[in-house]
Chain A
C-alpha cells in the first residue's frame, strides 16, 4: 500500500495510506447507484402524480444533471471529504498541502469528474453504434482517465491534481497493551537477567518482530496452544544461541523468558537511541563499520 506524508501546520508529519483505484471505483459505483435511485424515486413520484410524456423526460434529464453534480460537492463538504460511498468504504479526501480541505478543492475535483469520467462514459454508451470514430475517441479518453491514477504516486485523477487533493483510507486507531509492561512481573521477580553484551546483537526490527510474536501469544486460544509452544521453543533457542545465554530455560517459562528479553532489549535499544545510536536491525554493527571506513 502506498504511503503519503502530510505536514500539518503543527509541523509533525502525519502518514496516510493512499486509497487504491479499485476501492475508489467501488465507492464511485455506490454513489452512482444511490443518486440513480434517488432520481428514480423522484421521477416515479411525479409519474404517479399524473405527469408524463415529454415533460417528464425533460424533467428526469434535468434532475439527473442538477442532482448529480451538487451531490458530490455537498456531501464532500458536509461530511468532511467523504460522499456516502466513500463513507461506506472508509475513504476520505484530503488536501495535499496539509491545510483543511477547502471549497475550491472539493468543487474542482468534482467538476473535473464530469469532464473526465461521466461525459466520456456517457458518450461511449450512446454514440458508439452510429459513429464509431467518436466512440473510439471517447473510449480512449476513458482508458486514459483510468490510467492516470494507476500510474502516479498518490493515485490522483486529473481532477485531484488540479484540486490539490488525494484519497486516503480513514485511519483506524487501536491502542494495544504495552508488551513491556505486561512482562514487568517477570522482570520484577528477577527470573532472567541479561548482560549488556548479550543485548548488543539485535536492532529495532528484531525487537518489533518479537513484540508482534508476544502479542500473538497472548491472543491465541488454547486449541492452537500446541503449535504455538513448538514455535516458542524454536524462537527461545534461536535467541539463546545468538546472545550466548547459557542457562537452560525450562519449558513452562518460555513465555516469561521472551517477555523479559523483550523488556531488557527494548530498554537497552531505547537508551542507545537517546545517545544517538539508532539501531535499525541486527546488521547495525557492520553498517557502522562501513560508514566509518
Chain B
C-alpha cells in the first residue's frame, strides 16, 4: 500500500477488509437460489449462515459509518438475498402430511368447537325454518330450492317419480358423477362460506342458514309424501359427511369473522393471522371431507340400494370423522 498519501478513509478500509467475504457469500447465495440449499456441502451450508451473520453485521455498521451509496445498496441487497436463502422453508412433504393428520387437524377442530357448533346450529336452524315453511305453503319450496339443484323434484312431481330418484340407478355413476359433484353446488357453498367469513362472519352465517333451508324444504317435500325414512337414507350415505363439511367450513369462516369483529388486544391484521392458523386447517378438513363425500355419492349411493345399509354407512363414517376429531393428536403428558 502506498503510505505516502493521506490515510485511507475509514469506510474505504472497512470495505476492503470485508469485500472478500461478501463475494463468497454472494456466490453461495447465488448457488442456493439456483439449485436450493441442498446443493451445498455441509461446510458450505455452515459458512452460509456464518457469512450471512457477518454481512448483516457489516450492513448495520455501514449504515452508521459509511456514506458510500454504492456500498450501501449492495450490502442491503446482499443481506436481503442471504436472508431469503437462510430463512427458506425447510419442510419435507411426508412429515407435513403426517403432522397434519395426526396432530394439527384434530387439535384445530377441538380448539374451534364453538365456531363449528355455530356452523351446525345455522344449518339446523335453517333446515327447521325451511321444513316448517314448506308445511305452511308448498310454494316456499321454489323460493328456496334452485331449479338446477332440484332436478325435477318439486311439489309438482309425483310420489312415484320421487321414489324412483331415490332408488333408481338412472343417474350416471362413477367418475363423471364424482367430478360433477365436486364442482356442484355444495363445494362452491363451502368455499364461499369460508372465504366470506373474513368479511365479518355474517355472510357465512346467512349462507349456511340458507343452505339449511334448502335442505329443510327438500326433506319436507319427501316427508309430506311419506318418503321420510327413504330420503333420510338417501341423504345419509353422503350427506352426513357433506353437510358436516359445510358446517365445518362455516366454522372456519366464523373464526375468521370473529377475528375481524372482535380482535381483542391485537390489531385486526394480527388477529386475522392468528385466527387463520386454525381456520385454514378447518378449511382443509372440510375439503378432505367433501372429496370423501364425492366418492360416497359417486359410487356408494348407486351401489348400495338397501336403506338400512345406507344409514349404517353414512352415520358410521360420520362417527369415524368424529372419533378422529375427538381422539386424534392428544398427548399423554402435558409438556412443561
Contacts and interface: CB of A to CB of B under 8 A. Distances in A.
Contacts of A163: 273, 276
A173 B78 CA distance: 5
Interface stretch (B113-121, B174-182, B226-234, B328-336): B174-182
B69 A211 contact: yes
Contacts of B6: 187-188
Contacts of B71: 175-176, 178
Contact of B57 (A12, A111, A175, A266): A12
B31 interface: no
Contacts of A104: 276-277, 280
A243 interface: no
Interface in B1-24: 2, 4-6, 8-12, 15-16, 19, 22-23
Contact of B56 (A10, A15, A171, A179): A10
B323 interface: no
A162 B198 contact: yes
A1 interface: no
Interface stretch (B89-97, B131-139, B157-165, B210-218): B89-97
Contacts of A74: 93
Given A14-B76, A104-B277, A270-B10, A80 B56 contact: no
A146 to B, nearest CB: 15
A103 B280 CA distance: 11
Contacts of B296: none
Nearest to B279: A162
A269 interface: yes
B81 interface: yes
B10 A92 contact: no
Contacts of B166: none
B83 A6 contact: yes
A259 B168 CA distance: 91
Contacts of B19: 175
B179 A62 contact: yes
A14 B89 contact: no
Main secondary structure on A side of the interface with B: helix
B290 to A, nearest CB: 11
B272 A80 contact: no
B70 A10 contact: no
B191 A162 contact: no
A54 B172 contact: yes
A55 interface: yes
A108 B33 CA distance: 24
Contact of B80 (A16, A57, A190, A263): A16
B9 A263 contact: yes
Contact of B65 (A62, A162, A270): A270
A133 B264 CA distance: 37
Contacts of A177: 70
Contact of B68 (A55, A62, A172, A266): A266
Given A12-B59, A77-B91, A171-B76, A119 B22 contact: no
A101 B182 CA distance: 31
A140 interface: no
Contacts of B56: 8, 10, 12, 14
A176 B172 contact: no
B269 interface: yes
B81 A8 contact: no
A261 to B, nearest CB: 13
A184 B280 CA distance: 60
15 contacts: A57-B179, A62-B179, A100-B87, A103-B96, A108-B277, A115-B192, A119-B192, A162-B272, A170-B81, A173-B26, A189-B5, A208-B67, A270-B9, A270-B67, A273-B64
Interface of A: 6, 8, 10, 12, 14-16, 54-55, 57-59, 61-62, 65, 74, 77-81, 92, 94, 99-104, 106-108, 111-112, 114-116, 119, 158, 161-164, 170-181, 184, 187-190, 204, 207-208, 211-212, 215, 263, 266-267, 269-271, 273-274
Given A14-B56, A158-B198, A176-B70, 5 more contacts: A10-B52, A54-B176, A170-B84, A207-B67, A211-B70
